[in-house]
Structures are given as C-alpha cells and as structure tokens.
Structure 1
Amino acid sequence: MKLVILFGPPAVGKMTVGQELEKITTLRLFHNHMSLDLVHQFFDFGTPAFERLDRRIRFAFFEEIATSDLDGLIFTYVWDLNEPADTDYIDTVADVFRQQGAAVSYVELKADLSERLKRNRDAHRLACKPSKRDVASSESSLLYFETNYRMNTREGELGQKPLLTLDITSQEPLATAQRIKEWLN
C-alpha cells in the first residue's frame, strides 16, 4: 500500500497530474475537490458544517482504502505550510495509512503564477471542479492564497519525509506523472 500526497498551490495541476498518474500506475486518485464540491452543494465553504462533513467523508474513504486490498492512493491538497493545523491534517492523513503499513510519499508541484492563472481557466479543470466554474471568484481565491499562504516548501522543511519537488510550469501532465512514477519505484 502506498499513499502519495500530491500538494501545491491552486491550479498548479495536482488533479490533472494525479489523473495521469492514476492511468499509469495501480494507484487510485482522491483529488481534493471530490469531497469539497460534494459538500459545497449543501454548505458554504469554510462553515463549521462544511468542515465537519468534508473531514468525515475524506477520513471514511482514507480508513477504508488504507485497510483495503487496493495498491494505494493519490491524495491532492493545497497545504499552507505556515499553518500548523494544515500540517497536522496532512500528518493525520498519513498516519491513517502508516498504521496499516503503507509507505507515504510527498510530491510537491510548483508553477509560475502566470501559468497557474491560465490553468485556472482550463476547460478540463472547470469540467471536473464545479466550484471553480465562477472563474472570477476562483481567480480571486487563487490570488488570495498566493498572498496569504505559503504553499511550497523550504529546503529540508519536511525532514526525512520522502519528497519529490517538481517545477511543472512548462511540463505536460503525463511527463510529470511519468517522472513521479519513476521516483516512486
């Protein structure tokens, strides 16, 4: 069993790279918006009910997958590395899998802001993520995150955790997925 935590800023390409990685491995993808967009149909982002239900859904999946006969999971996340609660959340996700003997790997994606703003309007992204279809709101959120969150690591920040960092500003998703697959093996 493997858990791959695929993280980086909004619109960097986490879901798209995760989809390509799922196609070329036996790992399954749980991208962040699978639960976010489901819960958002009922509750506004950031409300206590939204946060509780999103967490319950995710951890129900994580616990079932970690004890299943699946080969592993790719999980995407926008991680604010300055926010201890985000780091605790990622550690809790990883612990669910580690407790079952899974190997946990971290893949950090980076891309220039100008490229991420283009990707934010990509038809595939909008088709897969209903909450991003209000492009003006999505772009505003992306810029807010850019200003207020630190979503990429500093040298050595994750300590001994297996980390692959890739700048994918000009790299195709399949090439990125192939690079991740090589690293995982």
Structure 2
Amino acid sequence: MKLIFIHGAPAAGKLTTAKALLAQTGGRLFDNHAAIDIARTVFDFGAPGFWELVQTVRMSVLGAALEQGLPLLVMTFVYADPIDLPTFEQFEAIVKRHGGELLPVFLKCSTEEIVRRVATPDRAARRKLMSETGVRQFLDEHTVSAVPRQNCLVLDSEANSAETNAQAIIRRFDLV
C-alpha cells in the first residue's frame, strides 16, 4: 500500500488536496477528523483519554487498510514538530511492517491565507477550528512543519490549486 500523508496547518488545504488527488487516482481517504469525530462521541475535545483514543482509531484504520491490501490511502494530518514525531513514527512503523510506503506531502500556506480560509461553511459543518483567534493561537503555540524525511514533498497550497498540487503528488510518487 502507498500511504500519502498530507500534512500542514489547519486550513492549509489538506482535505481539498486529498479529494483532488483521489479524483485523479482512485484510492481511499482517511481524513484525520474521522478519528477526532469518533473520539468526540466519547470524550470532550482534549479531555483525558481523547488523544489516546484518536491515535488508537488511526492505528486501527491503518492496520486494517494494510491487512486488506488497499493499494492507495490518502491521510490528512496537522503535524506539529516535535510533539507529533512519535505519532508519525508509529504510522511509519506499521506501514513498513506491512511492506507499504509512507509518502509524506507538506502543504505550506501563509498565516494570512489560513486566517482567510479558516471560517468557511465546510469547516463549520465538520466542527473544525474556525476562528482567527484560535488558528493564530494554534500557530503561535505549535511549529507546523514538514515531517523530517528526505522524501517529503513540499507544495504551496496558497500559490497552487489543489488540482495542480495533486498532479505534482502523482508525478513525484508515480501514482498513475
């Protein structure tokens, strides 16, 4: 299995890019908010046990996809360095254990553009971070960056359309 790991700041265009990529390649989507939504049915956001359940769901989904031989899975994630490195390394380990490839893609986007995007109706419907204050606080408190891997493809989601970035991912990781 190829796991395309699309990461970046909140509102950087991860889900939009993932959908554009899947429209051109097939495969399946594992949006990070699916795991978060499951955890919200049991816990308040961030409460004790919340993030542990989110990670358990993520690992279960990845394990099931790998065991069933799914050829392509696109996953979205907000990666903050260094606190999320152990989580990323868990993803790498399970993918490698099953003979798959983890192919990271980082979407960079200016804070100003993120602030402009953060209050969209789609984000409200999905219960995502929506306030300028909230996103600025998140970005001030966390170092959102590309995962520290040489094969990480860095794309500009402000300058390029999701379709253009999807084409770049297809070319770089030979997804045709």
**How does the TM-score come out when normalised to structure 2?**
0.90
Question: For structure 2, which runs of at least 5 residues remain unmatched after alignment?
Answer: none
Is the partner of 2:144 in helix, strand or coil?
A: coil
Is the partner of 1:96 in helix, strand or coil?
A: helix
Look up the match of 2:138.
145
Alignment match of 1:158 (pick from 116, 134, 148):
148
* Aligned residue runs from structure 1 range 21-36, under 5 A: 21-36=21-36
Look up the match of 2:38.
38
Identity %: 27
What RMSD, in angstroms, separates the aligned Cα atoms of the two structures?
1.7
Asked if structure 2 preserves the Cα contact closer than 8 Å seen for 1:3 and 1:94, the reply is no
Number of residues of Structure 1 aligned to a counterpart in Structure 2: 174
Q: Distance in 1 between matches of 2:134 and 2:110?
A: 16
Amino acid at match of 1:150: T
Look up the match of 1:72.
72
Deviations 1:113-133 (A, max 9, x none): 111112112233333x2244x
Are residue 130 (structure 1) and residue 119 (structure 2) matched?
Answer: no
Shift of the alpha carbon at 1:37?
Answer: 2.1
Deviations 1:15-52 (A, max 9, x none): 11111111111331111111112322331122222122
Question: For structure 1, which runs of at least 5 residues remain unmatched after alignment?
Answer: none
Asked if structure 2 preserves the Cα contact closer than 8 Å seen for 1:26 and 1:71, the reply is no
